[in-house]
Structure 1
């Protein structure tokens, strides 16, 4: 898994690190990773993680808003991109 080059893959727990995994796949993953994410987590779990996230770039925020029908005001882009 190239998405998690900076972590030991054996130490990543899909439940414990759910928000981190969702953020990483949504922001840096390939289409096949995105499809796998939809199988791994429910739509509600993904939406909840996205609403908590503070590290997404504006383009990803807009995509998630449209794809998951989340009001843009409920998502936060990282201040790094401001």
Structure 2
């Protein structure tokens, strides 16, 4: 059943790994992060259908880094304040020299 979801993702999304080795449960953090940062709308719909918004948000809260646009989108659709995401507080505490 999980293979059904993995094969539907955009080809470029997991080009650096073997899709056959991916497990939707064991690699959920990796899959969610990759889709949030690089996925197309169809990839987002697959992840949302499989995991649900609640689980996606809970996983994303633990990410140390996330694209600012992905954070803003996830925060807006889930109505979760950005301050609850580790990546937001981490970026604010450790600003990059060149942003």
Q: TM-score range by the shorter chain?
A: 0.7 to 0.9
1:59 aligns with 2:69: yes
Larger mean CA deviation between 13-22 and 50-59 belongs to 50-59
Task: Please show how residues 18-57 of structure 1 align to structure 2 within 5 Å.
Answer: 18-57=28-67
CA distance in 1, matches of 2:52, 2:43: 15
How many angstroms does 1:3 deviate by?
0.3
Q: 1:7 aligns with which of 17, 26, 29?
A: 17
Total equivalences in the alignment:
82
Using CA pairs below 8 Å that are at least 6 residues apart, which structure has the higher relative contact order? 1
CA distance in 2, matches of 1:30, 1:15: 21
Structure 2, unaligned stretches of length 5 or more?
1-10
Structure 1, unaligned stretches of length 5 or more?
none
Aligned residue number for residue 7 of structure 2: none
CA distance in 2, matches of 1:2, 1:59: 20
Give the number of the structure whose alpha-carbon radius of gyration is greater.
Answer: 2
Please report the RMSD computed on the Cα atoms of aligned residues, expressed in angstroms: 1.9
